[in-house]
Structure 1
Amino acid sequence: MLDLIVRNAKLPGQRDLTDIACQNGKIVETGPQLDASAAHEIDAGGLLVTPPFVDSHFHMDATLSFGLPRVNESGTLLEGIALWGELKPDLTVEAIKQRAWELCRWSIARGTLAIRSHVDICDPRLLAVDALLEIQKEVRPYIDLQLVAFPQDGYLRDPNAKAQLKTALDKGVNVVGGIPHFERTMADGAESVRQLCEIAAERGLLVDMHCDETDDPNSRHIESLSYETQRLGLQGRVAGSHLTSMHSMDNYYVSKLIPLIAEAGVTAIANPLINITIQGRHDSYPKRRGMTRVKELIAAGVPVALGHDCVMDPWYSLGSHDMLEVASMALHVGQMTGMDQMREMFRSVTQRGAETMHLEGYGLEKGCNADMVILQACDEVEALRLKANRLQVIRRGKVISEMPPATAKLDLDGAAHEVDCLLFRDNS
């Protein structure tokens, strides 16, 4: 007898319903009306079953610290960085872990079971590194947590960053990060990209750099990152996060830049909730949206993943780690309302994120990990429209979160109606 069968599932991009059979934490068979029995069976009833959501860019060390020691009144990136600097001396491993665990519980409830989190290494105590390495081990049964060594105060600008980044990598952080636009000069920014990529190449690690998170169209460090990726043979292992300066660049330069990114095999990670909130703060009207050119990057063949970036921290006072909210914001801001475009935004918080993190066993095919989310929606577009409830969240073949369907009961002059806003449900 199998451990679990999910029956009558609508898989992303498919019309026919499918059964998914799970044993020992793996998917062992898929197909219509499987002739098998299991200790636990779930009838999805024609609803969408997806692999878990993936957050490709997050800051778990700062999460849920909103209001400590004060609120970011200007809403700018730079005030957020300054505020985080004020908070760092008061951090403790216990406080970071407590907030991170609470966030992880939110993540599980939202079906977000893979997270790439940047962790600030510009604290001589490396408290956040130690705390998140502990969290990484503790949440492993539920969440794949990948950590990026992030020199928040600048790899060259902070005199201790080089040694501390090396120590963080030696401790077990396994992605190299950077923030070239926060260095003192454009030249220093390019040099930091070179040095950090060389460290990644020497150690065989992935790279994910905050790149050009600014409204300045002359911030062009993604160009340096693409060059170093090719020079060092890092194709497929490098991501440039934010890339918001591209929103403000002239079209001629972008027509050169995007093919360079594509040629280098660099992934772009946009963070729409934060990008549209932080960018354009110095504009009067019209105000720039700030999010990078997601539509154009995708059209050129550049893989695009999406991140939540922040939840209730010095940079963003909202959020619940809902990756459908992230994808919905991206398609609205990027004016990507074509059916294929909306489905691609769904992939940007699932499959593209898994590819960015190089996750093994991700998907709903035979042999993949038995990780999936049953959504109160009939397809990807409906899931985006409704920010669909996560009815069941399954990890390694076990249900680890359940949520009742969102249904309103109406009484209209004595006539009873139930409303769930689902437009179509195909139970065939």
Structure 2
Amino acid sequence: MLKIPRTRRFALRSATLPIAVTPGFESAAKEGLSSADLIIAEGSIEAVLPAGSAPDDIEGADLQDRMVWPCFTDMHTHIDKGHIWDREPNPSGDFDGALQAVRADREANWNADDVATRMDFSLRCAYAHGTNLLRTHIDSLAPQHRISFEVFSDMRARWKDRISLQAVALFPIDAVDDEAYFDDLVEVVAANGGLLGGVTHILPDLERRLDRLFQTASDRGLDVDLHVDETQDVNILTLASIAEAKMRNKFEGAVTVGHCCSLARQSEDRANATIEKVAEAGISIVSLPMCNMYLQDRHPGRTPRSRGVTLFHELKAAGVPIAVASDNTRDPFYAYGDLDMVEVFREAVRIAHLDHPLDETAKIITCLPADILQAPEFGRIQNGATADLVVFNARNWSEFLSRPQADRIILRNGMGIDRCLPDYRELDPLMKG
């Protein structure tokens, strides 16, 4: 069994690194993978060196070509609603059933203790799997916005040395017309260092509501992260309207949109025109392949015809930053999942054909989402970076993608962590309500 030294300065010899996440290191690569030695000192990466060049007098571990990645960024989650499946399942497995089940559970059970317990459980899972930067959307219909954002702020403080947390207010876009509610929501979001979000859908005056959202975000210095076109309905495509609104309002903050499923249902001409607008507007996109595969095109007794994911390759080719993330976890929107970004990566590669080649694919759960979240210090292996690393017992892509990598080693500040996952039995008291 591999043992990582527990000294202040040590070497990880004969590591295999994805070059895409190792800026400044130049070495021969095969399939985007290169051999290197890492020097770790005082919890940081002191040097990334060609394999075999680490000084012999430094204590170290021979990784025997094991892959080493930076810790992960999970940029779109819902840890406020996670782990309620046992209490409020979604028997139909479709989107409408999920909405109804979550609404019922929220109204019956989402007090501060309930939300805090499930948030903490979710974060313990993410931490054990190797995530160190996470953004969550928070259901923010009144009065839940005040309850859940207060819980989030407390959780962010408690977890600040383990996972860096961001939060986005989630609400229907038409709620911006409820002046008292929207003003109060904005105050709560601003006070808690959050982002404005929302769910867009086709409305006669969608443009006016988007203008209100962007103008408010601009006035308060808030970034925007929206749920967009999470449907197979070809007639629903609000993505272009969002891009136009960002440009029309000269919004200078960051704008991220998630899902964009109906983009894949459009004609080539309409899809390409929309993608051009997204690129021009400088919008980033996050694809949620596991949840979208679960919900989209689901009909009783009928095999799904569509994968439900967005046009990943076309967006990337147009220069649009696009990453992947977990989305929901064991709730009515997705019955499965564990906030494990290795699972997300493996399934995204298969679902969206992000292989052949795999040279830069490691970016989609590391440095690229970190950049989208404006946290460029995360998701990279480079001199001076914190030694937050994941060591895999895999030497190449075939080995990496063929197994769940359950035996991975997580280093935080250069020290191995306890990877024991929380027991679901801990949540049993919440399920008896």
Give TM-score scaled by structure 2 length: 0.84
Counterpart in the other structure of 1:168: 188
- Look up the equivalent residue of 2:156 and give its one-letter code: Q
Is 1:231 aligned to residue 248 of structure 2?
yes
Amino acid at match of 1:326: V
Partner of 1:141: 161
Structure 1 residue 4: Cα displacement: 4.5
Write the mapping of 1:7-18 to structure 2, written as runs, cut at 5 A: 7-13=13-19, 14=29, 15-18=33-36
- Could you tell me whether the CA contact under 8 Å between 1:9 and 1:48 is conserved in 2? yes
1:190 CA displacement: 3.3
Deviation of 1:37 (Å): 6.2
- Residue 352 (1) aligns with residue 368 (2): yes
Q: 2:200 is matched with which residue?
A: 180
Hey, what does 2:312 align to over in structure 1? 294
Distance of 2:328 and 2:282 partners within structure 1? 26
Q: Does 1:78 align with 2:109?
A: no
Determine which of 139, 157, 160 is the counterpart of 1:120. Answer: 139
Within the candidate set 332, 357, 364, 1:314 is matched to: 332
Partners of 2:296 and 2:208 lie apart in 1 by 25
> How many angstroms does 1:115 deviate by?
1.1
* Higher RCO, Cα 8 Å, sep 6+: 2
Pick from 260, 266, 275: which aligns with 1:258?
275
Indicate if the aligned counterparts of 1:52 and 1:372 stay in contact, CA closer than 8 A: yes
Helix, strand or coil at the partner of 2:240: helix
- Check 1:216–1:147 CA distance in 2 against 1; reply closer, same or farther (3 A cut): same
The more displaced of 88-97 and 18-27 is 18-27
Secondary structure in 2 matching 1:17: strand
Instruction: Among all aligned residue pairs of Structure 1 and Structure 2, give the percentage whose two residues are the same amino acid.
Output: 26
The offset of 1:199, in angstroms, is: 2.3
**Distance between the aligned counterparts of 2:331 and 2:166, measured in 1?**
20
Change beyond 3 A, Cα 1:192–1:345: farther
- Cα separation, partners in 2 of 1:35 and 1:335, compared to 1, 3 Å: closer
Would the alpha carbon gap of residues 211 and 16 (structure 1) be closer, same or farther in structure 2, given more than 3 Å must change?
closer
Q: Is the 8 A contact 2:82 2:329 kept in 1?
A: yes
Shift in Å, 1:310: 0.8
Alignment of 1:391-402 (within 5 A): 391-402=408-419
Cα shift readout 1:335-372 (whole Å, capped 9, x = no counterpart): 343123xx444321112211111114221111222211
Letter in 2 for 1:5: A
Amino acid at match of 1:266: I
Counterparts of 1:235 and 1:61, CA distance in 2: 29
Structure 2 residue 228 is matched with structure 1 residue 196: no
CA distance in 2, matches of 1:4, 1:78: 53
Distance in 2, Cα, partners of 1:88 & 1:207 = 24
Q: RMSD value over aligned CA atoms?
A: 2.5
Please, which of 328, 342, 352 is the counterpart of residue 346 of structure 2? 328
Q: 1:253 to 1:5 in 2, by over 3 A?
A: same
User: Using a 3 Å threshold, how does the CA distance of structure 1 residues 60 and 4 change in structure 2: closer, same or farther?
Assistant: farther
Write the distance in 2 (CA, Å) between the matches of 1:330 and 1:146.
Answer: 23
Residue 368 of structure 1 is aligned with which of 364, 385, 389?
Answer: 385
Structure 1: 5+ residue stretches without partners: 404-428
Aligned to 2:11: 5
Aligned residue for 1:331, secondary structure, equals helix
* AA of the residue aligned to 2:238: H
Equivalent pair of 2:67/2:394 in contact (CA under 8 Å): yes
In structure 2, the partner of 1:151 is 171
Contact 1:47–1:374 (Cα < 8 Å) also in 2? yes
Paired residues of 2:125 and 2:339 also in contact (CA < 8 A): yes
Q: What is the rounded CA distance, in whole Å, between the counterparts of 1:233 and 1:261 in structure 2?
A: 14
Distance 2:271 2:236 in 1: 12
Partner residue in 1 for 2:4: none
Distance across 1 between alignment mates of 2:67 and 2:46: 20
Tell me, which stretches of 5 or more residues in structure 2 are unaligned? 1-6, 20-28, 421-433
Equivalent residue in structure 1 for 2:110, among 65, 71, 91: 91
Shift of 1:208: 1.0
Aligned 8 A contact 1:151 1:161 in 2:
no
> How far 1:157 sits from its partner (Å)?
6.9
TM superposition shift of 1:377: 1.4
103, 114, 121: which one pairs with 1:102? 121
Q: 1:282 to 1:54 in 2, by over 3 A?
A: same
C-alpha distance 112-336 of structure 1, shift in aligned 2 (>3 A)? same
Q: How much has 1:164 moved relative to structure 2?
A: 3.7
- SS class of match (1:339): coil
Distance in 2, matches of 1:152 and 1:400, equals 40
Give the C-alpha shift of residue 373 in structure 1: 0.8
- TM normalised by structure 1 equals 0.85
